[in-house]
Amino acid sequence: MKKTNSFHGYCVLMTFCMLLLVARSQLTSDFYKTTCPNLLSIVRKEVQSAIKTEMRMAASLLRLHFHDCFVNGCDASILLDGSDGEKFAGPNLNSARGFEVIDQIKSSVESACSGVVSCADILAIAARDSVLLVSSNRFLWVDLGIILSGGPSWKVLLGRRDALVANQTGANNGLPSPFETLDEIINKFANVGLNVTDVVSLSGGHTIGLARCVTFNNRLFNFSGTGAADSTMDTSMASDLENLCPVNGDGNKTTALDRNSTDLFDNHYFQNLLNGKGLLSSDQLLFSNSTTIIKTLVQSYSATSALFFADFASSMIKMGNITPLTGSSGQIRNNCRVVNS
Ligand code: HEM
Ligand SMILES: *[C@@H]1O[C@H](CO)[C@@H](O)[C@H](O)[C@H]1NC(C)=O
Ligand SMILES: *[C@@H]1O[C@H](CO)[C@@H](O)[C@H](O)[C@H]1NC(C)=O
Ligand SMILES: *[C@@H]1O[C@H](CO)[C@@H](O)[C@H](O)[C@H]1NC(C)=O
Ligand SMILES: *[C@@H]1O[C@H](CO)[C@@H](O)[C@H](O)[C@H]1NC(C)=O
Ligand SMILES: *[C@@H]1O[C@H](CO)[C@@H](O)[C@H](O)[C@H]1NC(C)=O
Ligand SMILES: *[C@@H]1O[C@H](CO)[C@@H](O)[C@H](O)[C@H]1NC(C)=O
């Protein structure tokens, strides 16, 4: 009798704990199962078509989700037009891109299931698909439904709703800058609930995409008043970059964040750091001026891409969980660029 009672008590406690867990992580992978059953294949098809047109778009879409989530949570606040919006914040101005592709995805999604899928969820799915598909340079196979991928994938959690406001100040203050110290960057991640493992694995997003001269030319010619390039940068890379980005040159010119393999989602970003070939100051600091924990992570990821992929996937899920609007908060925007009237 006593045994039954305590077993019963244990069950009640278990149920209670499980309910708590469900209440805490409100996003679910099958959120649109009945309301928009083809959502994932619609987004996949649009992302595939966009990066077939321009491979860099995969990088741009991944970054949009990151820049969305770090500002008021993953709520599509970055997509709102207007001069007081996040698009005009320093980290995004002349930099964030892919908005037309999001519009295209949204319009295809609306044709299939009107008024139910949030722009914030579209950003999360598009980021996942970008990482998966950019690795696949053989689109013929992708068209046949076979993905020859070296890139990670994960189950995207869904159920986010769209913000009613943008937060330009939040974007200026909350997004990390390439000129900050590692401690400052770690703090910005900690502010949104991400730890140093997340800092390192997510920095690996720089295995794809481009950066403008203005984001790293402080490391060339006269770094910190030394009269020379940043000594942690490989010397032949420094002279290449000095040619690309001369003093008083076009600061908008771009170059690969991962000079080894721009369009492949792989672990070469971390191998580059071991060789002084990180592009941004914030990249190279992970290896050249960091703690043992961080340096060890960089070394592990550079040695074992499976480890990088696994950590990247779980950090992306964590990032996608940053304070979403759920339930009846916010709205489902009709047009990702404007709040519904
Ligand atoms: C750790 C702090 C980070 C800093 C300081 C940083 C900074 C930057 C900068 C300066 C650029 C180039 C922007 C331009 O040229 O206008 C860039 C590009 C990019 N970032 Fe980051 N980033 C960070 C973290 C991340 C994270 C967490 C992700 C995603 C997981 C990410 C994904 C990207 C991608 C994919 C690009 C290339 C975008 C394109 O080609 O359109 N970054 N980042
Ligand atoms: C904007 O973001 C800041 C954090 O940088 C936050 O304190 C503030 O409440 C946000 N404002 C709005 C309107 O969401
Ligand atoms: C290197 O790290 C130390 C300790 O975190 C920090 O005080 C210093 O500013 C860093 N140097 C650079 C160039 O970021
Ligand atoms: C960061 O958090 C993850 C779980 O989200 C955990 O596995 C990892 O060990 C943490 N890293 C550090 C350095 O605490
Ligand atoms: C490098 O920067 C320092 C400090 O900003 C300055 O005094 C010096 O003149 C610069 N050197 C060159 C060669 O431009
Ligand atoms: C980059 O291009 C933008 C838009 O074309 C322009 O407004 C800006 O001044 C340029 N920036 C630099 C550093 O040349
Ligand atoms: C990229 O790295 C691999 C392995 O480290 C190397 O074999 C290859 O030559 C590199 N490619 C480029 C373009 O740097």
> Which ligand does the CA of 171 lie closest to?
2
Residue at which a domain ends, from 175, 205, 234: 175
CATH code where residue 124 lies:
1.10.520.10
The answer to whether residue 18 scores a pLDDT higher than 90 is: no
Q: Is residue 25 part of a domain?
A: no
Whether 205 and 118 share a structural domain? no
| Residue 67 falls in the annotated catalytic set | yes
Q: Is residue 9 part of a domain?
A: no
Whether 151 and 187 share a structural domain? no
Task: Looking at the CA of residue 167, tell me the nearest atom of ligand 2.
Answer: 1
pLDDT digits (tens, 9 = 90+) for 35-86: 999 999 999 999 999 999 999 999 999 999 999 999 999 999 999 999 999 9
Whether 286 and 254 share a structural domain? yes
pLDDT given at position 26: 87
Strand partners, 161: 325
Residue at which a domain ends, from 175, 196, 225: 175
Q: Is residue 303 part of a domain?
A: yes
pLDDT given at position 8: 46
Total domains in the fold of the chain = 2
* Prediction pTM value: 0.93
Whether 86 and 146 share a structural domain? yes
Whether 162 and 190 share a structural domain? no
The answer to whether residue 25 scores a pLDDT higher than 60 is: no
Q: How far apart are CA 301 and CA 44, in angstroms?
A: 28
pLDDT digits (tens, 9 = 90+) for 259-278: 999 999 999 999 999 999 99
The answer to whether residue 9 scores a pLDDT higher than 50 is: no
Q: Is residue 299 part of a domain?
A: yes
* CA-nearest residue, atom 4 of ligand 2: 170
pLDDT given at position 11: 41
Q: What is the rounded average pLDDT of the residues 200-209? A: 98
Q: Is residue 279 part of a domain?
A: yes
User: With a 6 A CB cut-off, is 275 part of the ligand 6 pocket?
Assistant: no
The answer to whether residue 233 scores a pLDDT higher than 90 is: yes
Structure tokens at 257: 């964040």
Whether 242 and 206 share a structural domain? yes
Q: Which of 11-25, 149-163, 247-261 has the lowest mean pLDDT?
A: 11-25
Q: Which residue has the higher pLDDT, 236 or 143?
A: 236
Whether 187 and 314 share a structural domain? yes
Mean pLDDT score of the chain: 92
Asked if 98 and 51 count as a contact pair (C-beta separation under 8 A), the reply is: no
pLDDT given at position 7: 42
Residue 95 C-alpha to ligand 2 middle, in angstroms? 22
Q: Is residue 113 part of a domain?
A: yes
Q: How far apart are CA 233 and CA 92, in angstroms?
A: 26
pLDDT digits (tens, 9 = 90+) for 124-176: 999 999 999 997 665 556 666 666 665 899 999 999 999 999 999 999 999 99
Q: Is residue 67 part of a domain?
A: yes
> Which ligand does the CA of 270 lie closest to?
7
pLDDT given at position 10: 46
Substitution candidate for ligand 1 out of 56, 180, 182, 206 with most atoms within 8 A of CB: 206
Whether 84 and 200 share a structural domain? no
Whether 116 and 200 share a structural domain? no
Please give the torsion angle defined by the CA atoms of residues 287, 293, 298 and 299, in that order, rounded to the nearest 10 degrees. 100
* SS (HEC) of the chain: CHHHHHHHHHHHHHHHHHHHHHHHCCCECCCCCCCCCCHHHHHHHHHHHHHHHCCCHHHHHHHHHHHHHCCCCCCCHHHCCCCCCHHHCCCCCCCCCCHHHHHHHHHHHHHHCCCCCCHHHHHHHHHHHHHHHHCCCCHHHHHCCCCCCCCCCCCCCECCEECCCCCHHHHHHHCCCCCCCHHHHHHHHHHCCCCHHHHHHHHHHHHCCEEEHHHCHHHCCCHHHCCCCCCCCCHHHHHHHHHHCCCCCCCCCEEECCCCCCCCCCCHHHHHHHCCCCCCHHHHHHHHCCCHHHHHHHHHHHHCHHHHHHHHHHHHHHHHCCCCECCCCCECCCECCECCC
Whether 157 and 105 share a structural domain? yes
Whether 191 and 310 share a structural domain? yes
Residue 62 C-alpha to ligand 1 middle, in angstroms? 9
The answer to whether residue 258 scores a pLDDT higher than 70 is: yes
The percent of residues above 70 in pLDDT, for the chain, comes to 88
* CA-nearest residue, atom 6 of ligand 7: 260
* CA-nearest residue, atom 13 of ligand 1: 211
**Binding-site annotation, residues:** 68, 71, 73, 75, 77, 86, 176, 206-207, 258, 266
Whether 198 and 161 share a structural domain? no
Residue 126 C-alpha to ligand 3 middle, in angstroms? 36
With a CB cutoff of 8 Å and minimum separation 6, the contacts of 18 are none
User: With a 6 A CB cut-off, is 316 part of the ligand 4 pocket?
Assistant: no
CATH code where residue 198 lies:
1.10.420.10
Q: What is the rounded average pLDDT of the residues 266-295? A: 98
pLDDT given at position 17: 44
Which structural domain range is residue 50 located in?
Answer: 39-175
User: With a 6 A CB cut-off, is 95 part of the ligand 4 pocket?
Assistant: no
The answer to whether residue 19 scores a pLDDT higher than 50 is: no
Residue at which a domain ends, from 141, 175, 209: 175
Residue 196 C-alpha to ligand 4 middle, in angstroms? 7
